[in-house]
Amino acid sequence: MKKSRSFPQLFPPLRFPSNCYIDLELLTVMDSRKQKQNNLVLYRRRMGFTQKQVARLLGHHDTSMVSHYEHSRALPPLMVALRLEIIYRVPVAFLFPVMYDELKLQIRELESSLAGAAQRPLF
């Protein structure tokens, strides 16, 4: 019969305040939203391209920057974003929907604050 071995506890248990789980839930929701900052992987796979192929089409020597763009660790410059639009055959707004929606909301709020009483928004 085998005896179960218990390992000594190296660190004492952490004491959390009673409301710590609320912050944890909020953080989890924010992290999951942050992880989905763009649709580059979705459209690359839809086109059937590998990261290496996309890197070559962008004029890069390796896939590191494509990976950085896809994981939202780097934001592509305007020329690269336009090239991605051409490669994936979708508007840049589709590639970066979260950023697009946030910018659109900010601009619409500014428009409404700038509009006079007699002026109506165009759209």
Do 40 and 84 meet the contact criterion of CB atoms below 8 Å apart? yes
- 39: DSSP letter: -
Q: Are 74 and 106 in contact (CB under 8 A)?
A: no
Determine the longest span between alpha carbons in the chain, in angstroms. Answer: 87
For the chain (length 123 residues), average pLDDT per consecutive 10? Answer: 53 47 44 69 97 98 97 97 98 96 95 72 62
Q: Would you say the pTM of this structure is higher than 0.75?
A: no
Q: How much is the pLDDT for 8?
A: 52
